[in-house]
Chain A
């Protein structure tokens, strides 16, 4: 038998645990990318997932009808990882060093098995004598599959007005 007060405490604890779980998931993902564990990273995605980076002048637009920077389904994401692992992705051979700072992780909404979460990022790409910061926010749709969190959609929205002086998005943002 539980009192009303216990129910509310349990609810708060459950919410806190979920927040912690989501934050840990996003941070672990960032570490995987910094360590270039791309296959492990790819395994985080559902089969119907999307990875998107909108154009800097259209941060909220739908890449189905606007020109984005990246709009990958899982097949293209696999292709992207294969490319980055080869010796022939010249912009990333050798791989750049990256360091990702993820903060302000917030759960926005829970819809059934899906969790909508946001986070801020500051990603440094370091290579060939250049240090280029990428600044923006992630918009995640996470889905619980067999108890574990998976990424169903991951949108990296740049606050930068242009990829200048970076030139490319050759790493996974």
Chain B
């Protein structure tokens, strides 16, 4: 396969195109599994999902069944969900609490720290059989940043913190909003899209589509009346048009003023309910106190769509959503969505937060079903033949606004580097030095 013809970039002319085989080729999908999903850090879960010793969750990452468990020693670990004897899944529930995991096939028993603690009729095994070496196997790398846990199947992957690059700042900008910390709200939206997984990565960064595709959502929210007027921005960043930014290593963010739209942290709109006005205003005042006007403005009065490369979208818009998606072949993906809320949020505001989330997001919302339709429609469109490229040139000739595709190009550059066997793109930005030339 010739990887050299997948991206066509004319930097000075401001044209950036990606060959459509990126979405349709089984060969490329196999290369992605090997060079991206086996090499990158992949999102696993949030600390709050395992509050107590013994708590566990099943997860599938890169198609591989894993389970994630907090041991009796208080430490979180992740294991391949496979008995070291004949291979059956040892964790057979999606979630729960256990001290021991007994394989149902031959009753080999592991503790919640992965040690093999009992083998029926152990005397039947010879000298060379070492029970202590037969504990559950773990993916080679496992780490967290501020409670967001990631796993990697590559022993030699760089440290998580350096992998996250500049995305770290934006994770901070989200997580710092809740003084009490965050928790994953129970309830998981599990769905799928009949399209290549990268379509979701791109959709998660893109706000160019939002007005044309989601007009029914805006019609609905506008029918509810208008929110509080937005404050005058105390900072030039991100500016009225917002910004599309590369955060290095394929990560990107789209950041733009949220204007009069609802933000549970912290801008009131009728969709959040009259009764929540005071709580939301207090929240904003507290953030100003803690972080100053400028950072509080970025937290409370801008929205951000962030993609942690390759497949984890962290959105801070109508609510904070954690969305991860996995390829199953080249034309289908499985999607999982959860949402975070501040610990200790009042039941009334939590209810409003969730309603606000559902009105836009999720497979039953007023907007997201149309994202899915668009992704699937593009995948069908690729079957047409004819045009060979998708275009991602928007805003290449200027300082990219939120409606531009700079972050999308950064994604593609990293993707192309990974396919070619490199850990990093030579250039993560449109320009050579990350600034306008």
The answer on a CB contact under 8 Å between B190 and A90 is no
Which of B234-242, B258-266, B369-377 sits within the interface? Answer: B369-377
Do A61 and B355 form a contact, CB below 8 Å, given A79-B366, A167-B193, A169-B363? Answer: no
Bound CA span A83–B220, Å: 8
Number of interface residues of A (CB under 8 A): 41
A-side contacts of B94, CB under 8 Å: 57
A70 to B185, CA, bound (A): 15
**Interface hits, B172-206 → A, CB 8 Å:** 185-194
A66→B185 contact, CB < 8 A: yes
In the complex the two chains form, what is the Cα distance from A161 to B94 in whole Å? 11
Q: Would you call B215 an interface residue if the criterion is a C-beta within 8 Å of the partner chain's C-beta atoms?
A: yes
For residue A89, CB closer than 8 A to chain B, the reply is yes
CB distance from A49 to the nearest CB of B (A): 15
Within 8 A of B (CB), among A34-82: 53-58, 61, 63-71, 73, 75-76, 79-80, 82
Interface residues of A in 117-136 (CB under 8 A from B): 128, 130
CB distance A168 to B191 under 8 Å? yes
Interface pair B213/A90, CB less than 8 Å apart? yes
Contacts of B310 in A (CB 8 A): none
- A56 contacts B354, C-beta separation under 8 Å: no
Which residues of B are found within 8 Å of A58, using beta-carbon distances? 186-188
Whether A166 is near chain B, meaning CB under 8 Å from some CB there, is yes
Decide: A91 and B370 in contact? CB cutoff 8 A.
yes
A161 CB, min distance to chain B CBs, angstroms = 7
Q: List 9 A-B contacts (CB under 8 A).
A: A56-B188, A57-B187, A66-B185, A67-B186, A68-B358, A73-B355, A82-B219, A165-B192, A167-B363
- Flag if A168 contacts B187 (CB, 8 Å): no
Complex-state Cα separation, A161 to B60, whole angstroms: 14
Task: Determine if B351 and A168 form an interchain contact, defined as CB atoms under 8 angstroms apart.
Answer: no
State in angstroms the CA–CA spacing of A53 and B358 once bound together: 11
Give min CB distance, A90 to chain B, whole Å.
4
Q: Give the interface size class of chain B.
A: 35 or more
Closest residue of chain A to B215 (Cβ to Cβ) is A88
Which residue from A56, A68, A75, A88 sits with its C-beta under 8 Å from B190?
A56
The residue from B223, B359, B362 contacting A69, defined by CB atoms under 8 A apart:
B362
Determine whether B226 belongs to the interface, using a CB cutoff of 8 Å to chain A: no
Q: How far is the CA of A170 from the CA of B371 in the complex (A)?
A: 12
Contact A65 B185, beta carbon cutoff 8 Å = yes
Known: A76-B220, A168-B364. 11 other contacts (CB 8 A): A56-B188, A65-B351, A66-B187, A69-B362, A70-B358, A70-B364, A71-B355, A79-B220, A82-B216, A162-B190, A167-B363
The reply to whether B194 and A165 form a contact with Cβ atoms under 8 Å apart is yes
Complex: chain A residue closest to B370, CB-CB: A90
Cα–Cα distance between A75 and B273 once the two chains are bound (Å): 13
- Determine whether B357 belongs to the interface, using a CB cutoff of 8 Å to chain A: yes
- Residue A86 lies at the interface, judged by CB distance under 8 Å to chain B: yes
- B351 with A64: CB separation less than 8 A: yes
Chain A residue nearest to B351 (CB atoms) is: A64
B154 at the interface (CB under 8 A from A): no
B380 to chain A, nearest CB (A): 8
- Restricting to B326-366, which residues have a CB under 8 Å from any CB of A? 332, 334, 337-339, 347, 350-351, 354-355, 357-359, 362-364, 366
Report A-chain residues with C-beta under 8 Å of the C-beta of B194: 130, 165, 167
Q: Which residues of the other chain, A, contact B350 by a CB distance below 8 angstroms?
A: 64-65
The smallest beta-carbon distance between B349 and chain A, in angstroms, is: 11
For the complex, what is the distance from the CA of A64 to the CA of B334, rounded to whole Å?
A: 26
B285-325: CB near A (< 8 Å → 1, else 0) gives 00000000000000000000000000000000000000000
With most chain B CB atoms within 10 A of its CB, the pick from A53, A57, A86, A167 is: A167
The answer to whether A67 and B373 touch across the interface, beta carbons within 8 angstroms, is no
Residue on A with the closest CB to B337? A67
In contact, B187 and A167 (Cβ under 8 angstroms): no
Q: Known contacts A67-B189, A68-B358, A70-B358; decide if A163 and B366 are in contact (CB<8 Å).
A: no
- A164 within 8 Å of B by Cβ? yes
The distance from the CB of A81 to the nearest CB of chain B, in whole angstroms, is 11
List residues of chain A with CB within 8 A of the CB of B380. Answer: 128
CB <8 Å contact, A57 and B190: yes
B187 to A82, Cβ gap below 8 A? Answer: no
Instruction: Please list the 5 inter-chain residue pairs (A to B) with the smallest Cβ-Cβ separation, ordered nearest first.
Output: A67-B187, A162-B190, A66-B187, A91-B369, A169-B364
